[in-house]
Amino acid sequence: MAGQAEEGRRVRLNRERVLAAAVALADEAGIDSLSMRRLAQELGVVPMALYKHVANKEELLDAMVDVLVAEIDPPAGGAGWKSAIRQRVLSARRVLLRHPWARQVLESRTRQTPAVLGYTDSFIGMFLAGGFSVDLTHHVMHALGSRMWGFTQELFDAPAGPKADAPAVPPEALAAMFRQMAERYPNVARVAMAAAHEEGSVVGHGCDDQFEFEFALDLLLDGFERLHQQGWTSRQAKPARMPPASTGT
């Protein structure tokens, strides 16, 4: 990251270099560090120089999403819709995990770039090719939501990760915290302890995100399959607004 400034000063700036630098900066320093000023500095250029290659910060973020989309594998053919969708989602997930900023940026996007539309279009095409009705495909795409991009928002999921600068908490204080926690939130404690045990990991290590992601993805795909086989349509479902595959209770 040093020396880049001098080197950059002689090479002409262009859109590609701006985007590559933006992605690299977000990858390495985090999305909060990606400011127009910081990015310009990284490129050895005055902030305003960027605006010749990118309309504004919003458009820069849109373009970064396009870079992302280009990294997702094209649809795999031949193995049926379910496996094709599954593989593609997991490919998107691998891309997302390479770029920690992607989740937050995708969530904040409101413009559909051509690349995003293209991805969505080919994704929809996979259901249609599998024999899904346009109607079912529509609702199924909504149900998938952000899972189509390989992520779900795991709310509050960086639970008290010990800060690097924070002083180590003495073990007896930690034990007291756990006891108090278990008393006030017994159900959370039971689930957390079971999960920690299951992983064979240290308490608080967290969950196997990949397993949880695939668990929910497969649950949904199985549900989609069932509805498809039953010839589900929103007509039946809508007037009474009944659950799709059961009669409640």
Partner DNA sequence: ACCTGAACACCGTTCAAGT
Q: Where along the sequence are the contacts to DNA (CB under 7 A)? A: 9, 12-13, 34-38, 45-49, 51-53, 56-58
Q: Which is nearer to its own copies, 41 or 120 (CB)?
A: 120
Contact at 8 Å (CB) between 72 and 65?
A: no
Residue 18 and residue 32: Cα distance in Å, rounded?
Answer: 17
Residue 132 is given by DSSP the state -
57 binds, among DNA, its own copies, none (CB under 5 to 8 A by kind): DNA
**Within positions 78 to 107, which residues make up the interface with its own copies, using CB under 8 A?**
79-80, 82-83, 106-107
Q: Is 159 in the site for its own copies (CB under 8 A)?
A: yes
The answer to whether residue 223 forms part of the interface with its own copies (CB under 8 A) is yes
176 binds its own copies (CB under 8 A): no
Q: Which does 95 bind (CB under 5 to 8 A by kind): DNA, its own copies, none?
A: none
Compute the Cα dihedral for 54, 60, 64, 65 and give only its sign: negative
- Rule CB under 8 A: is residue 206 a binding residue for its own copies? no
Q: Which is nearer to DNA, 38 or 138 (CB)?
A: 38
SS3 sequence of 27-82: HHHCHHHCCHHHHHHHCCCCHHHHHHCCCCHHHHHHHHHHHHHHCCCCCCCCCCHH
Q: Which of 5, 11, 135, 162 binds its own copies (CB under 8 A)?
A: 135
> Rule CB under 8 A: is residue 163 a binding residue for its own copies?
no
CA gap 172, 165 in Å, rounded = 20
Task: Determine, following the binding rule CB under 8 A, whether residue 48 of this chain makes contact with its own copies.
Answer: no
Query: 3-state DSSP call for residue 134?
Result: helix
Q: Which CB atom, from 3 or from 248, has the smaller least distance to its own copies? A: 248
